[in-house]
Amino acid sequence: MPRMLDLSHVKSLAVRDLIELANLDDFDRVNEQVRQVAGCTRPVNLVGQTTTLDAATRTVLRSYSTTDEPTGRLLTTCGNRRASRCPSCSRVYAADTYHLIKAGLSGGKTVPETVRTHPRV
């Protein structure tokens, strides 16, 4: 059973929220989610469930529901590539963009190396 705290003396709603999070029984999971968003300024709060079935036997291989999370939701990064929207996520994708452009000009991955003779700008 969750502990009930009297936080009426705390004026800041943000501080109240932080105190309540820190006092959750499964605070380690909350902390893990915060670490996984790695500084994302606009994390997405996912709510719902998913079930993976074996196509042949229709048996459940994996099942997940956000109701099992301490806060009832799962945090994930926004994944925005624009630094003006989320500097943290844009840095992650900056390296991807470089490699995509490089592969388009010189070949690599699934792009044939014959593009080197006729690159497009």
Q: pLDDT, tens digit, for every residue of 61-92?
A: 999 999 998 888 998 999 898 889 999 888 88
pLDDT bin (cut points 50, 70, 90) of residue 1 is very low
- The residue ranges of every structural domain in the chain are 1-78, 79-121
Identify which has the larger pLDDT, 32 or 120.
Answer: 32
Instruction: Please tell me the least confidently modeled range out of 46-50, 51-55, 99-103.
Output: 99-103
More confident residue, 120 or 13: 13
Whole-model pTM: value is 0.57
Residue with tokens 């945090």: 75
CB-facing half-sphere around the CA of 109: CA atoms within 13 A:
8
Residues 38 and 32: their CA atoms lie apart, in Å, by 10
